[in-house]
């Protein structure tokens, strides 16, 4: 069963202080399943709440594809996700512009409704994710991929029901939802979701767990979370009783790993993945830490490196090539986009990650960057430069736009918009993006320029802008 048996004792899930034990979660989710069974797909308002967990589990119990919608999404992005996914019901707090009937979700409700376990090949989730251009695409993630990934990670990290998982990541992406919620449910470990991933909240969860006799043992975070904790020694110290810290979704700076080790005795293990592939490469809990190296291919997965013209790149710890993967955790394709789906795979069946990597003789991987400057990772969120530019060009004061990710100590990359136009107010333009796309996709900075650098063909030369990556 994808989510484990549902049996077991104790507080299964706590989100922002609201708790359900395992039986309570299953029977509240069964009430949702009863209402949504037979729907083509259900959209779930992805706020960090117990209701979101109940809604997602309800959809999965009913075998209905679940479409998590970013809690901070603006009107245009939300409308796109709802329409494109074909979701026919909205689960959770109503939001403007969905046009869908709302199914209330109440963690206090109880039902014994039950359905047979859906086929492993059926779609568990439709996760919207950005490309370099165009609106986000719906990645179809089958149940078998989720199950295979979670089992492989449990093995890599010795993750058992004796662990208490702590994190405060968003519940609308793979990291927070698949690993951070479905992982805890499949393994059978309690989950303490902190609502927000702040240093103080992680420290409080660690202390609270210790008081109840079951200390937070396994902590998940994106590098921005670890970097904020490393800069807050008192909170970091509270994590010294943890068993394992895990970092992923973006590169973990060496300095952060070093500072964390100094503050709490732990250097996080890293793991690497994508929405489309789930987690494919991970460092094992029992392996010596190699900061900057994300680990080896998980069981059931294979990786290879290819050069610009498809030629093999040696696994010598130095040669850089595109990382390509295949195996049990891969998605089925992008919903309704056969061409984009076909383009994502090589002719011989490997998924092109778009990440540049090196691999050493022992099969360890280091991610050295993205193949495209138009794919930005900010605070662990994946944002396509093209989708932000398209919205900016819709602002009446903006004539030309180029969006880049610039190095940022806190966010890894910070979204910067270079704009040409008349009477541009940076604050108004930033809000314009936040209200339409989502808050996390807003530029953090706007630079108004006279002209954008272009080559002889008229193409914008992003590498000549500010300190955009070379």
Contact positions vs ligand MCA (CB under 6 A):
169-170, 173-176, 197, 222, 224-225, 248-249, 273-275, 379-381, 430-431, 434, 439-440, 442
State in angstroms the smallest separation of the CB of 273 from ligand MCA: 4
What is the smallest separation between the CB atom of 456 and ligand MCA, expressed in angstroms? Answer: 37
In the bound state, the residue with its beta carbon closest to ligand MCA is 379
Question: Is residue 59 a contact residue for ligand AMP (CB under 6 A)?
Answer: no
Output 24 or 176, the one with its CB closest to ligand MCA. 176
| Residue choice 370, 395, 436, 462 for contact with ligand AMP (CB under 6 A) | 370
Q: By the 8 A CB rule, do 236 and 270 touch?
A: no
Rounded distance, CA 13 to CA 107, Å? 11
Q: Which of 118, 188, 251, 268 binds ligand AMP (CB under 6 A)?
A: 251
Asked whether position 442 contacts ligand AMP by CB under 6 A, the answer is no
248 binds ligand AMP (CB under 6 A): yes
Q: Does residue 395 bind ligand AMP (CB under 6 A)?
A: no
Distance from CA of residue 462 to its chain's centroid?
26
Single out the residue of 267, 245, 239, 247 nearest to residue 255, CA to CA.
267
> Cβ distance 242 to 269 under 8 Å?
no
Choose, by CB under 6 A, the member of 77, 84, 151, 355 that binds ligand AMP. Answer: 355
Asked if 372 touches ligand AMP (CB under 6 A), the answer is: no
Shortest distance, position 410 Cβ to ligand MCA, whole Å? 7
Give per-residue burial for 403-431: e unless 16+ CB within 10 Å, then b. Answer: bbbbebeebbbbbbbbbebeebeeeebbe
The count of other CB atoms within 10 Å of the CB of residue 203 is: 21
The set of long-range contacts for 309-318, using a CB threshold of 8 Å and a minimum separation of 24, is: 310/346, 315/359, 315/360, 315/361, 315/363, 316/360, 316/361, 317/358, 317/359, 317/360, 317/361, 318/358
Q: Cβ 293 to ligand AMP, closest distance in Å?
A: 10
Residues within window 155-184 making contact with ligand AMP, judged by CB under 6 A: 174
Which residues have a Cβ under 8 Å from the Cβ of 304 and sit 6 or more positions away? Answer: 312, 323, 324, 350
Q: Select from 13-21, 242-250, 428-436, 438-446 the region that touches ligand AMP (CB under 6 A).
A: 242-250
Among 2, 218, 294, 430, binds ligand AMP (CB under 6 A): 294
What, of ligand MCA, ligand AMP, none, does residue 65 touch, CB below 5 to 8 Å by kind? none
Phi, psi of 448, deg, nearest 5? -85, 125
The neighbour count for residue 460, using CB atoms within 10 Å, is 17
Please give the helix or strand (H or E) that residue 53 lies within, else none: helix 50-62
**Binding residues for ligand AMP (CB under 6 A):** 129, 174, 248-251, 270-275, 294, 353, 355, 367, 370, 377, 382
């Amino acid at each position: 069963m994808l989510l484990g048996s549902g049996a077991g004792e104790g507080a299964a899930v706590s989100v922002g202080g609201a708790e359900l034990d395992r039986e309570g979660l299953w029977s509240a989710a069964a009430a949702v399943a009863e209402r949504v069974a037979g729907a083509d797909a259900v959209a779930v308002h992805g706020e960090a709440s117990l209701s979101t967990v109940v809604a997602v589990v309800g959809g999965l119990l009913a075998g209905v594809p679940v479409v998590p919608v970013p809690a901070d999404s603006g009107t245009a992005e939300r409308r796109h996700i709802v329409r494109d996914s074909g979701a026919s019901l909205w689960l959770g707090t109503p939001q403007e512009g969905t046009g869908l009937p709302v199914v209330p979700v109440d963690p206090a409700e109880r039902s014994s409704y039950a359905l047979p376990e859906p086929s492993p090949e059926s779609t568990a989730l439709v996760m919207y994710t950005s490309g370099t251009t165009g609106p986000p695409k719906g990645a179809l993630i089958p149940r078998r991929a989720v199950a295979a990934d979670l089992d492989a990670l449990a093995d890599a990290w010795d993750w058992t029901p004796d662990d208490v998982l702590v994190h405060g990541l968003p519940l609308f992406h793979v990291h927070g939802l698949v690993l951070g919620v479905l992982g805890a449910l499949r393994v059978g470990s309690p989950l303490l979701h902190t609502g927000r991933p702040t240093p103080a909240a992680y420290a409080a969860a660690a202390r609270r767990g210790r008081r109840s006799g079951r200390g937070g043992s396994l902590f998940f975070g994106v590098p921005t979370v670890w970097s904020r904790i490393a800069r807050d020694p008192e909170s970091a110290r509270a994590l010294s009783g943890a068993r394992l810290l895990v970092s992923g979704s973006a590169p973990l700076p060496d300095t952060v790993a070093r500072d964390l080790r100094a503050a709490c005795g732990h250097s996080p293990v890293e793991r690497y993945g994508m929405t489309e592939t789930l987690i494919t490469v991970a460092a094992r809990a029992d392996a010596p830490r190699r900061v900057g190296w994300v680990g080896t291919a998980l069981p059931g997965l294979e990786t290879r490196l290819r050069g610009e013209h498809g030629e093999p790149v040696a696994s010598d710890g130095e040669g850089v090539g595109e990382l390509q993967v295949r195996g049990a955790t891969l998605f089925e394709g992008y919903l309704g986009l056969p061409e984009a789906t076909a383009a994502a795979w090589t002719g011989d069946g490997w998924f092109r990650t778009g990440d540049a990597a090196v691999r050493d003789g022992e099969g360890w991987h280091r991610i050295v960057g993205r193949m495209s400057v138009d794919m930005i990772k900010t605070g662990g969120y994946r944002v396509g430069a093209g989708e932000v530019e398209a919205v900016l060009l819709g602002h009446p004061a903006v004539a030309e736009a180029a969006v880049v990710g610039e190095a940022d100590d806190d966010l890894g990359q910070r979204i910067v918009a270079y704009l040409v136009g008349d009477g541009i107010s940076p604050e108004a333009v930033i809000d314009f993006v936040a209200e339409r796309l989502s808050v996390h996709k807003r530029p953090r900075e706007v630079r108004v320029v006279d002209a954008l650098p272009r080559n002889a063909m008229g193409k914008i030369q992003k590498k000549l802008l500010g300190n955009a990556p070379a």
